[in-house]
Amino acid sequence: MTFKLLHLATFAAISVVLAGIGGVAVTYLVVEEEVRDLIDDDLEAQAEFFAALISDQRISMSRQTVQSLIDEAFEPDPDDVGDIQEMLWITVYDRTSGAHISNLKHELPLAQPGSGSITRELLGHEWYGHQHDQSGGPIVQLLHHSDRWRDSGGSSRRCLLPAIAVVGVNVTLLAGLVYLSLWPMTRLARQIEQRPAASSYPVELSTPAREVAVLRDALNGYIRAVDEVLIREREFASDVAHELRTPLTTLRLELSSASVDMESMQSEVERMIALVSQLLTLARLERSSWREASEPVPLHVVIGDLWLLWRRSLLTGIFP
């Protein structure tokens, strides 16, 4: 199985981008959930504090006092729907009588006692919040509009802007590195793919990548070496044809004459045999086959033989 490095790098870049997007999405969900939990905890703490305040035995609060406190601390009935979406809805229920005090006018009875998260509907809207049951005291419900719950994602998105910016910078840097790393190699492969098989021109590619430059120079070196071998072979074939033409011409002339000169023909044949033998020797040298037929000769043995020959010449007075 074969593949292109550019495709592999593109796949890696896409994987990094998807991983970054997935990480941002998971972070967004986690942050959004944390923001909502923070809002719920704040509602729970406010409800608990308000219930403890109005049930404190040291503070005497009438119904009017509690209503005034609610009206001052929380916005009363608004006329604009946009104001409803931004406000909190608080209701204080009397455990014994079931009467209630609220900043919004309604006649909704207490569903059930106890503390925990609740969901209620009022004025055609859905509300989410917390109910706190003060032991021996009133029951306080503190809720916010459903749109405020949904809009909590805006805070999450603002928190994620730095993460999105970092992912964008990383993707840009990754794309730049992939381009700088693989584009020279892709150009080199494209040039080799498109050049004719018999072309002996060097590969021309300017690149700052050292590895690609080394590969380009090595390819150009191989191309020059092959081109030189081909030139030598053409010259060799031309020389062989030239050398063989002369004896062959002589033989043809001798054979066409009335009186054949056998000695001349023999001489030309011997010349051709010698020429062919030289050509075979040259071919073996070109293939370096002479290295396989040769044997290493110890240099000290050769020097010793020459030394003995020289001493014998001195003793006999005969110099070779």
In 58-161, DSSP assigns E strands to 88-93, 100-102, 116-122, 125-133, 139-145
Highest mean pLDDT among 26-40, 130-144, 225-239, 298-312: 130-144
Q: Which residues pair with 302 in a beta bridge?
A: none
- Pair of tokens at residue 302: 């050769």
What CA–CA distance (Å, rounded) separates 102 from 271? 130
pLDDT level of residue 5 (50, 70, 90 thresholds): low
The answer on pLDDT for 319 being more than 50 is no
Please check whether residue 131 is in contact with residue 113, taking contact to mean a CB–CB distance below 8 angstroms. no
Give the pTM. Answer: 0.45
> Which residues touch 298 (CB under 8 Å, ≥6 apart)?
none
Residue with the bigger pLDDT between 319 and 15: it is 15
